[in-house]
Homo-oligomer: A and B are copies of this chain.
Amino acid sequence: MTDALARWIAESGFEGVKPAHSAAIQPLWERPDGARITELARASRITKQSMSALVADLEAAGYVELIRDTQDARAVRVRLTARGRSYGRAARAFSHRIEERWARQIGARRVAEFRKTLELLRNEVFLKAD
> What is A's interface to B at a CB cutoff of 8 Å?
4, 101-102, 105-106, 110, 113-114, 117, 120-121, 124-125, 129
Contact = CB atoms under 8 A, between A and B. Distances in A.
Identify the interface centre among A4, A113, A114: most chain B CB within 10 Å of its CB. Answer: A114
Contacts of A101: 125
Contacts of A102: 121, 125
Nearest to A117: B114
Q: Which 7 A-B pairs have the closest CB atoms?
A: A106-B120, A114-B117, A105-B124, A105-B125, A110-B117, A106-B124, A102-B125
Copies per complex of this chain:
2
B121 A117 contact: no
A109 to B, nearest CB: 10
A125 B106 contact: yes
Contacts of A114: 114, 117, 121
Nearest to A114: B117
Contacts of A113: 110, 113, 117
A2 B102 CA distance: 26
A21 to B, nearest CB: 21
Nearest to A113: B113
A117 B125 contact: no
Contacts of A110: 113, 117, 120
